[in-house]
Amino acid sequence: MNSSPSHPAPFFINRRRFLQTSAAGLAASALGAYGVDLVNRKPRRVGLIGAGWYGKSDLWRLVQVAPVEIVALCDPDSQMLAGAVEIARQRQASKRAPRTFRDYREMLKQEQFDLIVIGSPDHWHALHAIAAIEAGADVYLQKPISVDVLEGEAILAAARKHKRVVQIGTQRKSTPHLIEAKQRVVDAGLLGKIAQVDLCCYYHMRANGNPAVQPVPDHLDYDLWTGPAPLRPYDGLPHKRWWRTFMEYGNGIVGDMCVHMLDTAHWMLGLGWPKQVTSSGGIFVQKEGKSNISDTQTAVFEYEGLNATWQHRTWGLPPDADYPWALFLHGEKGVLKASTRRADFIPHDKNAKPITFDCVFEREKYTEDVTEKDIELNAAPATRRHMLDFLAAVDQRSRPVADVEYGHISTASCILANVAMKLGRPLRYDPKRRQVTGDPEATRLLARAYRAPWQRPVVG
């Protein structure tokens, strides 16, 4: 893999206007830059696995841009399901309430789906994605695609074997101001030779509490929520942020936030697998709580002719207050600063003009965004665009802009950074052999043990 496919020009559809406007008048725009036929087809049958914060957010963005029928929702928390059902009933055109399931296996057995949206925690991504693929659905899978490297290899193999479209939720590739910055700065050669990429996150997002062990509430099937991960003593609802503070379920800030920015660098610069990954860090400051993910970490991803360096701290202040979560492309002629909220090209030549790229918001076009709980308003336009790209790939049986292979490379690179930090040495991953070159100990860490009776997916 050398580079991501080119991305079409911006194209958004107001769902409310879509429902009110005649099909004849809208057909031309619905078959616009994405080639998605939103008029001359019946609604796609959609299911959601993982009805928490971002699972619902992704689903509501899909409903905004395409005619779909939300057939079923799945989550081991019945309270989470109840809230999602009510919103789904209000938002979809049919006004029907979707069926609910606690176990994804029952949902996939009892219903047929065109599309499955997966918003479950990271430790579930592989089993959920592969089951949906094997059930014949095309999949929108949240990042990171997996919790270990060989899970990602298994998802990629399953997608290719069953010829399913899998779009990963790395929607920076569909972020309007970043697409424009890539075209006008990177592709136009304004940076000159790019020899260093800096990536960072300085958000204070490490939960690090000390809640007491307590009884599991009746509305949560905690054993099923835990699934193949180690069964921690229950100390409160694991949803939104709390589960991410434990390595049992994910890969810390690197696995959550670096994936986005590293994937953006891969896309902007046409990069593939890094030649070598090194990392160091640990819990240096926030030692008082239960959290076992690093609060300070640096990782270096080495490519031909450039290094990409990641740093996060969940304490202190960011070096650049305007770019607390960002990437910086350093070229001989200037630097491009880029985040989810803005981008700035700063030329080295004082006679050249800097360029600012502003975030696109669509509050007026999608008025329901304004009242939606916990919505990331700056990310919603990108996710809508990402969904349209996904649907176009589904219709054309082609690869989407955030194809599963690209998502796997970015995810696995970040996981390798954690393995490198754990072992204290550089790692060179060979994706053809699926092993770390010359390092049997590191190769063993490419796959995590599954809790019985859950079984790891195999590559095949």
Least trusted range by pLDDT, from 37-46, 84-93, 214-223, 262-271: 37-46
Amino acid at 47: G
Query: Is the pLDDT score of 6 beyond 70?
Result: no
For residues 288 and 284, give the distance between their C-alpha atoms in angstroms, rounded to a whole number. Answer: 11
226-248 confidence digits (pLDDT tens): 999 999 999 999 998 999 999 99
Lowest mean pLDDT among 36-40, 142-146, 266-270: 36-40
Closest among 68, 74, 67, 69 to 48, alpha carbons compared? 74
* CATH code 3.30.360.10 region(s) in the chain: 174-209+235-362+408-444
Residue 17 has pLDDT above 70, yes or no: no
15-171+380-404: CATH number: 3.40.50.720
pLDDT score at 23:
27
- 264: which 2 tokens? 């953006």
- Flag whether pLDDT at 12 surpasses 70: no
Check whether 16 has a pLDDT greater than 80. Answer: no
All CATH 3.40.50.720 domain ranges of the chain, comma separated, are: 15-171+380-404
| Residue 166 φ then ψ, to 5° | -130, 110
CB 419 within 8 A of CB 445: yes
**Residue bearing tokens 């029907």:** 96
* 310 and 258 Cβ atoms separated by less than 8 Å: yes
Residue 77 CB contacts under 8 Å (≥ 6 apart), including other chains: 51, 219, 220, 221, 225, 237, 239
Provide the token pair at 87. 């919103």
Per-residue pLDDT of 116-160, as tens digits, reads: 999 999 999 999 999 999 999 999 999 999 999 999 999 999 999
What is the C-alpha to C-alpha distance for residues 295 and 208, in angstroms, rounded to an integer? Answer: 10
Fold of 174-209+235-362+408-444: Dihydrodipicolinate Reductase; domain 2 (3.30.360)
CA–CA gap between residue 169 and residue 400 (Å, rounded): 11
How far is residue 64's CA from residue 308's CA, in Å, rounded to a whole number?
Answer: 36
pLDDT of residue 392: 97
Number of CB atoms found within 10 A of residue 241's CB? 12
Confidence (pTM): 0.92
Give yes or no for residue 408 having a pLDDT over 90: yes
Using left for φ > 0, alpha for ψ between -120 and 50, and beta otherwise, residue 418 falls in alpha
pLDDT in tens, 277-312: 999 999 999 999 999 999 999 999 999 999 999 999
- The mean pLDDT value of the chain amounts to 92
What region does 282 belong to: left with phi over 0, alpha with psi -120 to 50, or beta? left
